[in-house]
Amino acid sequence: MIDSAPLSRIDSFAYRHRLADVMASPAVTGNAAMTLQQACKRMYAEGVSSLVVTDGQGRCAGILTERDLLGLVSRKGVAALDLPLGEIMSFPVHSVPADAFLFVALGRMTRLGLRHLVVVDDENRPLGMVTGRALLKIRSSEALAIGDSIQEADRVEELAQARATLPRVARGLLAEGVSARNVAAVISGVVRDLTARAAQLSERSMTEDGWGPAPARWALLVLGSGGRGESLLAFDQDNAIVHQGNERDDLWFAEMGRRVADMLDAAGLPYCNGGVMARNREWRRSLDEWQREIRSWVFAPSEQKVLNIDIFFDFQPVHGDRQLAEELRGLALDTARQSEFFLQFLAFNASRQDNALGLFGQFATKRGRLNAKKFGLLPLVSAARAKAVRSAITATGTAERFGMLAAQGKLQQDDLRDLTDILDLMMRLILEQQLLDLENGQRPSALIEPRRLPRDTRRRLKESFRRLRMLKSLLGGMALMQ
């Protein structure tokens, strides 16, 4: 049972920082042929308490820690020093990606009783190491409640408990001064973890029910805001499947998509109103089928396909064969760049958003509410996506995309600062309104009440919309695109 009350008092450090910020880098490595004595000499020379054993491609194959060393010597004596690491290393290696937040590592180390956790890249190559010793200064025991509970969940009720903590977590992080973009990244991480765990449990239940294992390589993708790392509290499901099976294999993947969707809905991630779920055939395709679909988007773009295009290019794999998912990403970006018309279509879509301010500078509200997603977030998200596709940028986050554009000299630093400031303001105002609406028993949405905002915030919001209007030609025009 998850006790969610302490989450309003969490130490926000673990939710502010990613492992790339705190890991010891580079990781000290060796190969399977290295003897224990050679490994000890290297660990002593580097002043570390562990060594990662890698295979011929530089990927994690095992690990040797001080604790392993003591156990070996106590059992085998000095003879242990001549043993190769391939025979004595511990495996599998527990690892986390470098862009994960610190709370993920803390939770995993606590749950598994680990003293060392390897930080890896997308190919499972070691980048660095985090140790319990190095994390002693972080007051994080209360924050662990949500950090790894999803991985332990075996029932949908446990997933629902983790999902239910999100508003409290968001409120606590905002109170600690964590940026809205980082709060959104935490929420998105939980959404992706819930989706991944639902897939794991569904796969297990299908085996138990006689469906057997997956008939081909496959991956489950989270699309849209969850893939960008920008989910707030009005989320639903957006997922898809890519596989390398044939038409007959679709029966298995259809059942997987159905079970995942049903489990997530029961856990508090409702079905997508637009049907963007792998249980629907449109969002469940083989790699070849996806290639044909993407070509239809690129070479015959239409207004009806805009939603599919927008959601798809933000995907992140959460379960299954990550390499297959990245093949799909590369295929999509390569295909998109073959059509100048399609790239301009995306740019036009980014620049044609409606204005949030009327002729006399008043907010364009309905029933006292302003659609901050439509007027504020969508122009930013669409512009970053359009340029990322043109530039073959694989990052999916809006701020990350803008940052990479600036690094390539395609966006001025002043514009980068303004765009990211506007993005964070919009996210914060939406998130604060959602928390207020939840407290009042209302469904959260992207509609904010400008009249409840302090005068300075209203002024800043208007200035942001004016700045965004000035930037529209930059965001969608070819000046940015070249």
pLDDT at 17: 76
pLDDT at 3: 36
| Cα distances (Å, whole numbers) of residue 46 to 25, 27, 49, 81, 365 | 11, 10, 9, 18, 62
Q: Which helix (H) or strand (E) holds 111?
A: helix 102-112
| Cα distances (Å, whole numbers) of residue 128 to 121, 131, 133, 254 | 10, 10, 15, 39
Residue 23 phi/psi, 5° resolution?
Answer: -70, 155
pLDDT at 447: 95
Nearest to 51 by CA among 65, 34, 37: 65
**450 contacts 365 by C-beta, under 8 angstroms:** yes
Owner of token pair 């130490």: 11
Q: What is residue 187's three-state secondary structure?
A: helix
Residues 6+ apart with CB under 8 A from 80: 36, 72, 73, 88
| Cα distances (Å, whole numbers) of residue 43 to 56, 71, 231, 365 | 21, 16, 42, 63
Q: What is residue 363's three-state secondary structure?
A: strand
Whether the ω angle into residue 379 lies within 30 degrees of 0, i.e. cis, is no
Q: Please state the three-class secondary structure of 59-80 as a single string.
A: CEEEEEEHHHHHHHHHHHHHHH
**236 contacts 201 by C-beta, under 8 angstroms:** no
pLDDT at 81: 92
pLDDT at 137: 44
Residues 6+ apart with CB under 8 A from 359: none
**357 contacts 462 by C-beta, under 8 angstroms:** yes
Q: How many CB atoms lie within 10 A of CB 225?
A: 25
pLDDT in 10s for each residue of the chain, 482 residues: 333 333 334 456 677 778 887 788 899 999 999 999 999 999 988 888 899 999 999 999 999 998 899 889 889 898 889 999 999 999 889 999 988 888 888 878 877 888 899 999 988 999 999 887 666 544 433 334 555 678 778 899 999 988 998 998 888 888 777 889 988 988 998 899 999 999 999 999 999 999 999 999 999 999 999 999 999 999 889 999 999 999 999 999 999 999 999 999 999 999 999 899 999 999 999 999 999 999 998 888 776 677 677 789 999 999 999 999 999 999 999 999 999 888 888 887 766 667 788 777 788 889 999 999 999 898 899 889 999 999 999 999 999 999 999 999 988 888 899 999 999 999 999 999 999 999 999 999 999 999 999 999 999 999 999 888 776 655 554 333 33
CA 207/CA 95 separation, integer angstroms = 26
pTM of the model: 0.74
Q: What angle do CA 40, 43, 47 make, to 5 degrees?
A: 140
